[in-house]
Amino acid sequence: MEHLPDEDLVAAYIDHGDERAFRTLVERHQERIFGYLVGMIRDREVASDLFQETFLRAIAAMQKRRGSYEKQGRWLGWVMRIARNAALDHIRSRKKWQDVDSGDDEGTSFFDRLPAEGPDAVETLDLAGRVEELRAAIELLPPEQREVVLLRHESELTFREIAEITDVSINTALGRMRYALINLRKTLIPDAARNT
């Protein structure tokens, strides 16, 4: 099953109720989806709840056969839209974008997968410090910019998929990424702020 494309797994689940196919889909994409939710919510426990809610919503829609899922298209993009809606519902319930400090972040994310190879411990510590600086800088971005960065780098979605999920034009998604990169550069390279 692991070698089948997403659409074949989706068809096996929808048409035949094959639970192994659905489990394979979840296992294949869980890191991207969970990483996105943690980046948006910044609370691992809440992100875990939203992750489960995302898949409950996906199951319900897929079992309806008339649900929001159409067999053509990319399944990951469709599930990411559900995850985004779950995150936004949670955020709206709190009445604003709220930055939650969850303390130590034990999960694997895009930042945790950065290569940490270095010839000595000093360089390794320096890299770890830069990763933390990058995380902190991303957290300072406006919500729309932070979301595009997370969708692009945590979930590895294309800008077309990001535009569809966030219900904006591709140019708007690209613009948000551009401004996010400018803001990250200003935060991470203070001299860059003076030169722009």
pLDDT in tens, 159-170: 988 998 899 999
Tell me the C-alpha to C-alpha distance, in Å, between residue 22 and each of 7, 56, 129: 11, 12, 39
Which single residue is written with the structure tokens 């989706």? 10
* CA triple 163-12-77, angle to 5 deg: 10
Among candidate residues 41, 166, 13, 26, the one with its CA nearest the CA of residue 101:
41
Q: What is the number of alpha carbons within 13 Å of residue 109 lying toward its C-beta?
A: 24
Domain-wise residue ranges, the chain = 1-98, 114-196
The radius of gyration of the chain from alpha carbons, rounded to an integer in Å, stands at 18
Strands (E), the chain: none
Q: State the average pLDDT for the chain.
A: 79
Dist CA 165 CA 161 (whole Å)? 6
CATH number at 1-98 = 1.10.1740.10
pTM, full prediction: 0.65
Which single residue is written with the structure tokens 């895009």? 110
- The more confidently predicted of residues 125 and 92 is 92
Q: Which of 81-90, 94-103, 132-141, 146-155 has the lowest mean pLDDT?
A: 94-103
> What pLDDT does 61 receive?
85
The helix/strand count (H/E) of the chain reads as 9, 0
Architecture of domain 114-196 in this structure: Orthogonal Bundle (1.10)
The single-letter code of the amino acid at 192 is: A
Examine domains 1-98 and 114-196 and report if their fold is the same.
no
